[in-house]
Amino acid sequence: MNIYSFTRQDFEKYFEKIGEKKYKALQIYDWLYKKRVNSFDEMTNIKKELKEKLKKDFNFEKPQIIKIQNGKDVHKFLFKLKDNEKIEAVLMNHDYGNSLCISTEVGCNMGCAFCESGRLKKRRDLTTDEMVLQILEIEKTVNTRISHIVLMGIGEPFDNYNNVMKFIDIINDDMAVAIGARHITISTCGIVPKIKDFSKEKRQVNLAISLHAPNDELRSKLMKINKVYPLKEVIEAVKEYLKINNRKVTFEYIMLKDINDDPKYAVELANLLKGLNCYVNLIPYNETSHIEFKKSDNKQIMKFYDVLKKNKINVTVRREFGSEVDAACGQLRSNYKEE
Protein backbone atom coordinates (compact mmCIF):
# COMPACT_ATOMS: atom_id res chain seq x y z
CA MET A 1 0.00 0.00 0.00
CA ASN A 2 1.18 3.51 -0.72
CA ILE A 3 1.62 5.40 2.55
CA TYR A 4 0.21 8.63 1.07
CA SER A 5 -3.17 6.98 0.49
CA PHE A 6 -3.88 6.61 4.24
CA THR A 7 -5.86 9.16 6.23
CA ARG A 8 -4.87 9.75 9.86
CA GLN A 9 -7.95 7.74 10.87
CA ASP A 10 -6.83 4.89 8.59
CA PHE A 11 -3.47 4.84 10.40
CA GLU A 12 -5.15 4.84 13.81
CA LYS A 13 -7.16 1.75 12.80
CA TYR A 14 -4.02 0.14 11.36
CA PHE A 15 -2.00 0.63 14.56
CA GLU A 16 -4.86 -0.62 16.74
CA LYS A 17 -5.13 -3.71 14.54
CA ILE A 18 -1.43 -4.56 14.97
CA GLY A 19 -1.53 -3.91 18.72
CA GLU A 20 0.11 -0.48 18.74
CA LYS A 21 -1.09 2.81 20.25
CA LYS A 22 -3.29 5.08 18.13
CA TYR A 23 -1.05 8.10 18.77
CA LYS A 24 1.57 6.60 16.44
CA ALA A 25 -0.66 7.73 13.57
CA LEU A 26 0.11 11.31 14.58
CA GLN A 27 3.83 10.54 14.66
CA ILE A 28 3.71 9.07 11.14
CA TYR A 29 1.76 12.07 9.85
CA ASP A 30 4.26 14.47 11.39
CA TRP A 31 7.14 12.74 9.61
CA LEU A 32 5.29 12.52 6.29
CA TYR A 33 3.72 15.95 6.01
CA LYS A 34 5.59 18.29 8.36
CA LYS A 35 9.12 16.94 8.09
CA ARG A 36 8.55 15.47 4.59
CA VAL A 37 10.79 12.41 5.02
CA ASN A 38 11.10 9.76 2.31
CA SER A 39 11.59 6.58 4.31
CA PHE A 40 10.81 4.92 7.63
CA ASP A 41 14.52 4.90 8.47
CA GLU A 42 14.35 8.69 8.88
CA MET A 43 11.62 8.40 11.53
CA THR A 44 13.81 8.50 14.64
CA ASN A 45 11.02 8.09 17.24
CA ILE A 46 9.69 4.85 15.73
CA LYS A 47 11.16 1.68 17.21
CA LYS A 48 13.10 -0.67 14.93
CA GLU A 49 10.66 -3.59 15.12
CA LEU A 50 7.74 -1.37 14.10
CA LYS A 51 9.76 0.17 11.27
CA GLU A 52 10.35 -3.30 9.81
CA LYS A 53 6.63 -4.04 9.98
CA LEU A 54 5.81 -0.72 8.32
CA LYS A 55 8.35 -1.36 5.56
CA LYS A 56 6.54 -4.60 4.71
CA ASP A 57 3.10 -3.00 4.67
CA PHE A 58 3.76 0.38 3.00
CA ASN A 59 5.75 1.96 0.20
CA PHE A 60 6.81 5.51 -0.63
CA GLU A 61 6.41 5.23 -4.43
CA LYS A 62 6.08 8.65 -6.04
CA PRO A 63 5.19 9.90 -9.51
CA GLN A 64 8.05 11.45 -11.45
CA ILE A 65 7.97 14.97 -12.90
CA ILE A 66 9.28 14.50 -16.46
CA LYS A 67 8.58 17.90 -17.98
CA ILE A 68 7.97 21.45 -16.74
CA GLN A 69 6.76 24.41 -18.77
CA ASN A 70 7.06 27.88 -17.24
CA GLY A 71 5.13 30.99 -18.22
CA LYS A 72 4.18 34.26 -16.57
CA ASP A 73 2.76 33.28 -13.17
CA VAL A 74 2.04 29.74 -14.41
CA HIS A 75 3.99 26.47 -14.28
CA LYS A 76 2.78 23.27 -15.91
CA PHE A 77 4.02 19.86 -14.76
CA LEU A 78 3.85 16.55 -16.59
CA PHE A 79 4.01 13.50 -14.32
CA LYS A 80 4.88 9.91 -15.20
CA LEU A 81 3.08 7.41 -12.97
CA LYS A 82 4.33 3.97 -11.90
CA ASP A 83 2.55 2.31 -14.85
CA ASN A 84 4.05 4.91 -17.26
CA GLU A 85 0.74 6.75 -17.69
CA LYS A 86 0.98 10.56 -17.85
CA ILE A 87 -1.00 13.27 -16.03
CA GLU A 88 -0.70 17.03 -15.62
CA ALA A 89 -0.92 19.64 -12.87
CA VAL A 90 -0.81 23.41 -13.23
CA LEU A 91 0.50 25.85 -10.62
CA MET A 92 -0.83 29.41 -10.87
CA ASN A 93 0.58 32.33 -8.89
CA HIS A 94 -2.18 34.66 -7.70
CA ASP A 95 -2.01 37.70 -5.43
CA TYR A 96 -3.89 35.64 -2.81
CA GLY A 97 -1.51 32.66 -2.96
CA ASN A 98 -0.46 29.71 -5.10
CA SER A 99 -3.24 27.66 -6.63
CA LEU A 100 -2.63 24.15 -7.97
CA CYS A 101 -4.97 22.55 -10.50
CA ILE A 102 -4.62 18.78 -10.19
CA SER A 103 -5.73 15.78 -12.24
CA THR A 104 -8.02 13.09 -10.84
CA GLU A 105 -7.91 10.52 -13.66
CA VAL A 106 -5.70 9.30 -16.48
CA GLY A 107 -7.75 10.59 -19.40
CA CYS A 108 -11.46 11.41 -19.28
CA ASN A 109 -14.64 9.75 -20.55
CA MET A 110 -16.87 12.83 -20.42
CA GLY A 111 -16.03 13.74 -24.03
CA CYS A 112 -16.70 17.49 -23.91
CA ALA A 113 -16.23 18.76 -27.46
CA PHE A 114 -13.93 21.65 -26.54
CA CYS A 115 -11.72 19.74 -24.08
CA GLU A 116 -8.26 18.39 -24.89
CA SER A 117 -8.39 15.95 -21.95
CA GLY A 118 -11.37 14.13 -23.43
CA ARG A 119 -9.52 13.36 -26.67
CA LEU A 120 -7.54 10.78 -24.70
CA LYS A 121 -10.11 8.44 -23.17
CA LYS A 122 -10.02 7.44 -19.53
CA ARG A 123 -7.47 4.73 -18.78
CA ARG A 124 -8.05 4.58 -15.04
CA ASP A 125 -8.79 6.53 -11.88
CA LEU A 126 -5.95 8.12 -9.99
CA THR A 127 -5.38 6.63 -6.55
CA THR A 128 -5.56 8.91 -3.52
CA ASP A 129 -1.78 8.95 -3.15
CA GLU A 130 -1.31 9.94 -6.81
CA MET A 131 -3.43 13.02 -6.14
CA VAL A 132 -1.76 13.92 -2.83
CA LEU A 133 1.70 13.53 -4.33
CA GLN A 134 0.99 16.01 -7.11
CA ILE A 135 0.93 18.62 -4.34
CA LEU A 136 3.92 17.34 -2.37
CA GLU A 137 6.20 16.86 -5.37
CA ILE A 138 5.41 20.26 -6.84
CA GLU A 139 5.91 21.99 -3.48
CA LYS A 140 9.30 20.29 -3.24
CA THR A 141 10.24 21.18 -6.82
CA VAL A 142 9.35 24.89 -6.65
CA ASN A 143 10.15 25.22 -2.92
CA THR A 144 6.96 27.09 -2.13
CA ARG A 145 3.72 26.56 -0.25
CA ILE A 146 0.55 25.73 -2.20
CA SER A 147 -2.43 27.44 -0.57
CA HIS A 148 -5.33 26.55 -2.88
CA ILE A 149 -6.31 23.34 -4.67
CA VAL A 150 -8.60 23.10 -7.68
CA LEU A 151 -9.77 19.72 -8.99
CA MET A 152 -10.13 20.82 -12.61
CA GLY A 153 -7.28 18.97 -14.31
CA ILE A 154 -7.52 15.80 -16.39
CA GLY A 155 -10.61 13.78 -15.46
CA GLU A 156 -14.04 14.27 -13.91
CA PRO A 157 -13.56 14.32 -10.10
CA PHE A 158 -17.01 12.89 -9.35
CA ASP A 159 -16.24 9.93 -11.62
CA ASN A 160 -13.53 9.04 -9.07
CA TYR A 161 -15.66 9.99 -6.08
CA ASN A 162 -14.34 7.84 -3.22
CA ASN A 163 -10.65 8.47 -3.92
CA VAL A 164 -11.33 12.20 -4.27
CA MET A 165 -13.15 12.38 -0.93
CA LYS A 166 -10.27 10.57 0.75
CA PHE A 167 -7.81 12.94 -0.94
CA ILE A 168 -9.72 15.89 0.50
CA ASP A 169 -9.65 14.32 3.97
CA ILE A 170 -5.85 14.10 3.80
CA ILE A 171 -5.04 17.52 2.39
CA ASN A 172 -7.57 19.23 4.67
CA ASP A 173 -6.11 17.59 7.80
CA ASP A 174 -4.25 20.19 9.90
CA MET A 175 -1.60 17.55 10.65
CA ALA A 176 -1.11 16.77 6.94
CA VAL A 177 -1.10 19.23 4.02
CA ALA A 178 -3.33 21.61 6.01
CA ILE A 179 -5.19 23.27 3.15
CA GLY A 180 -8.41 24.86 4.37
CA ALA A 181 -11.66 23.40 3.00
CA ARG A 182 -12.68 26.79 1.61
CA HIS A 183 -9.44 26.83 -0.36
CA ILE A 184 -10.39 23.58 -2.14
CA THR A 185 -12.66 23.59 -5.22
CA ILE A 186 -14.19 20.57 -6.95
CA SER A 187 -15.37 21.09 -10.53
CA THR A 188 -17.89 18.71 -12.08
CA CYS A 189 -19.47 18.61 -15.53
CA GLY A 190 -22.78 17.77 -13.84
CA ILE A 191 -23.03 14.17 -12.64
CA VAL A 192 -26.31 14.68 -10.80
CA PRO A 193 -26.27 11.66 -8.41
CA LYS A 194 -22.78 12.57 -7.24
CA ILE A 195 -23.73 16.23 -6.73
CA LYS A 196 -26.48 14.93 -4.45
CA ASP A 197 -24.06 12.62 -2.63
CA PHE A 198 -21.63 15.51 -2.20
CA SER A 199 -24.41 17.68 -0.79
CA LYS A 200 -24.89 15.20 2.05
CA GLU A 201 -21.16 15.27 2.90
CA LYS A 202 -21.73 18.80 4.28
CA ARG A 203 -18.15 19.79 3.54
CA GLN A 204 -17.00 23.40 3.37
CA VAL A 205 -15.29 22.62 0.05
CA ASN A 206 -16.28 24.82 -2.91
CA LEU A 207 -18.44 23.33 -5.67
CA ALA A 208 -18.11 24.46 -9.30
CA ILE A 209 -20.35 23.33 -12.15
CA SER A 210 -19.00 23.29 -15.73
CA LEU A 211 -22.04 24.73 -17.52
CA HIS A 212 -20.81 26.35 -20.78
CA ALA A 213 -24.30 26.73 -22.28
CA PRO A 214 -27.66 28.07 -21.05
CA ASN A 215 -29.95 25.58 -22.83
CA ASP A 216 -30.08 21.84 -23.48
CA GLU A 217 -29.76 22.04 -27.27
CA LEU A 218 -26.44 23.89 -27.19
CA ARG A 219 -25.10 22.17 -24.09
CA SER A 220 -25.77 18.70 -25.54
CA LYS A 221 -23.70 19.65 -28.60
CA LEU A 222 -20.80 20.72 -26.38
CA MET A 223 -21.11 18.23 -23.52
CA LYS A 224 -22.25 14.61 -23.91
CA ILE A 225 -23.13 14.44 -20.20
CA ASN A 226 -26.06 16.78 -20.83
CA LYS A 227 -27.85 14.00 -22.72
CA VAL A 228 -27.76 11.94 -19.52
CA TYR A 229 -28.27 14.74 -16.98
CA PRO A 230 -29.98 17.71 -18.70
CA LEU A 231 -29.85 21.25 -17.33
CA LYS A 232 -33.10 21.00 -15.38
CA GLU A 233 -31.73 18.06 -13.37
CA VAL A 234 -28.38 19.78 -12.82
CA ILE A 235 -30.05 22.96 -11.54
CA GLU A 236 -32.35 20.96 -9.25
CA ALA A 237 -29.31 19.14 -7.81
CA VAL A 238 -27.59 22.49 -7.25
CA LYS A 239 -30.70 23.81 -5.46
CA GLU A 240 -30.58 20.74 -3.20
CA TYR A 241 -26.89 21.39 -2.51
CA LEU A 242 -27.60 25.04 -1.66
CA LYS A 243 -30.47 24.10 0.65
CA ILE A 244 -28.30 21.67 2.62
CA ASN A 245 -24.98 23.56 2.59
CA ASN A 246 -25.85 27.23 2.08
CA ARG A 247 -22.57 27.73 0.18
CA LYS A 248 -22.28 29.74 -3.01
CA VAL A 249 -21.86 27.64 -6.16
CA THR A 250 -19.69 28.66 -9.11
CA PHE A 251 -20.91 28.13 -12.67
CA GLU A 252 -18.04 27.94 -15.16
CA TYR A 253 -18.68 29.18 -18.67
CA ILE A 254 -15.93 28.81 -21.30
CA MET A 255 -16.24 31.54 -23.92
CA LEU A 256 -16.19 29.96 -27.39
CA LYS A 257 -16.12 32.29 -30.40
CA ASP A 258 -19.41 32.29 -32.36
CA ILE A 259 -20.63 29.24 -30.41
CA ASN A 260 -21.90 30.28 -26.97
CA ASP A 261 -20.77 33.90 -26.63
CA ASP A 262 -23.73 35.78 -28.15
CA PRO A 263 -25.36 38.17 -25.63
CA LYS A 264 -28.67 36.36 -26.18
CA TYR A 265 -27.12 33.40 -24.39
CA ALA A 266 -26.19 35.67 -21.49
CA VAL A 267 -29.89 36.59 -21.16
CA GLU A 268 -30.80 32.88 -21.16
CA LEU A 269 -28.09 32.17 -18.60
CA ALA A 270 -29.31 34.97 -16.33
CA ASN A 271 -32.85 33.56 -16.45
CA LEU A 272 -31.58 30.03 -15.74
CA LEU A 273 -29.61 31.09 -12.66
CA LYS A 274 -31.98 33.75 -11.33
CA GLY A 275 -32.43 33.49 -7.55
CA LEU A 276 -29.57 31.02 -7.00
CA ASN A 277 -26.75 31.76 -4.53
CA CYS A 278 -24.08 31.58 -7.20
CA TYR A 279 -21.71 33.41 -9.44
CA VAL A 280 -20.60 32.86 -13.02
CA ASN A 281 -16.94 32.57 -13.95
CA LEU A 282 -16.39 33.45 -17.61
CA ILE A 283 -13.32 31.59 -18.87
CA PRO A 284 -11.37 32.66 -21.96
CA TYR A 285 -10.84 29.48 -23.99
CA ASN A 286 -7.34 28.03 -24.27
CA GLU A 287 -7.01 27.13 -27.94
CA THR A 288 -5.33 23.89 -29.03
CA SER A 289 -4.14 22.67 -32.40
CA HIS A 290 -6.21 19.49 -32.07
CA ILE A 291 -9.63 21.17 -31.65
CA GLU A 292 -11.18 23.79 -33.93
CA PHE A 293 -12.90 25.97 -31.30
CA LYS A 294 -11.58 29.53 -30.97
CA LYS A 295 -11.43 31.94 -28.05
CA SER A 296 -14.00 34.72 -27.92
CA ASP A 297 -12.44 38.14 -28.30
CA ASN A 298 -12.28 40.34 -25.24
CA LYS A 299 -14.91 42.75 -26.54
CA GLN A 300 -17.43 39.91 -26.92
CA ILE A 301 -16.58 38.53 -23.48
CA MET A 302 -17.24 41.96 -21.92
CA LYS A 303 -20.59 42.26 -23.75
CA PHE A 304 -21.58 38.92 -22.25
CA TYR A 305 -20.32 40.08 -18.85
CA ASP A 306 -22.31 43.31 -19.03
CA VAL A 307 -25.57 41.50 -19.82
CA LEU A 308 -25.14 39.24 -16.79
CA LYS A 309 -24.29 42.23 -14.59
CA LYS A 310 -27.38 44.13 -15.77
CA ASN A 311 -29.45 41.07 -14.89
CA LYS A 312 -27.99 41.07 -11.36
CA ILE A 313 -25.89 37.92 -11.79
CA ASN A 314 -22.57 37.92 -9.92
CA VAL A 315 -19.94 37.40 -12.59
CA THR A 316 -16.17 37.43 -12.97
CA VAL A 317 -13.83 36.94 -15.92
CA ARG A 318 -11.05 34.50 -15.15
CA ARG A 319 -7.58 35.89 -15.57
CA GLU A 320 -5.84 34.27 -18.53
CA PHE A 321 -2.92 31.98 -17.76
CA GLY A 322 -0.55 30.01 -19.92
CA SER A 323 -0.23 31.75 -23.26
CA GLU A 324 3.46 30.72 -23.20
CA VAL A 325 2.74 27.08 -22.26
CA ASP A 326 0.50 24.23 -23.44
CA ALA A 327 -2.29 25.82 -21.45
CA ALA A 328 -5.32 23.71 -22.31
CA CYS A 329 -6.03 20.92 -19.85
CA GLY A 330 -4.46 17.74 -21.23
CA GLN A 331 -2.52 19.59 -23.93
CA LEU A 332 0.95 19.01 -22.51
CA ARG A 333 0.22 15.30 -22.07
CA SER A 334 -1.22 15.05 -25.58
CA ASN A 335 1.71 16.84 -27.19
CA TYR A 336 4.21 14.73 -25.22
CA LYS A 337 2.59 11.52 -26.50
CA GLU A 338 2.81 12.80 -30.08
CA GLU A 339 6.48 13.70 -29.64
**Helices 263-273 and 298-310, packing angle to 10 deg:** 40
Catalytic position from the list 42, 112, 329, 338? 329
- 139 belongs to the catalytic site: no
- Across the beta sheet with 64-71, what order do the strands follow? 64-71, 74-80, 86-94, 97-101, 148-151, 184-188, 206-210, 249-255, 278-284, 315-317
Query: For residue 189, with 0-12 CB atoms within 10 Å meaning exposed, 13-18 middle and 19 or more buried, which class applies?
Result: buried
Q: From CA 323, how far away is CA 301, in angstroms rounded?
A: 18
What is each CA distance from 136 to 37, 39, 154, 204, in whole angstroms?
A: 11, 15, 18, 23
- 329 belongs to the catalytic site: yes
Catalytic position from the list 12, 88, 105, 116? 88
Cβ atoms of residues 187 and 150 within 8 Å: yes
Q: Which candidate, 32, 33, 53, 56, places its Cα nearest to that of 43?
A: 32
Query: For residue 277, with 0-12 CB atoms within 10 Å meaning exposed, 13-18 middle and 19 or more buried, which class applies?
Result: middle
Which residues participate in catalysis according to the annotation? 88, 329
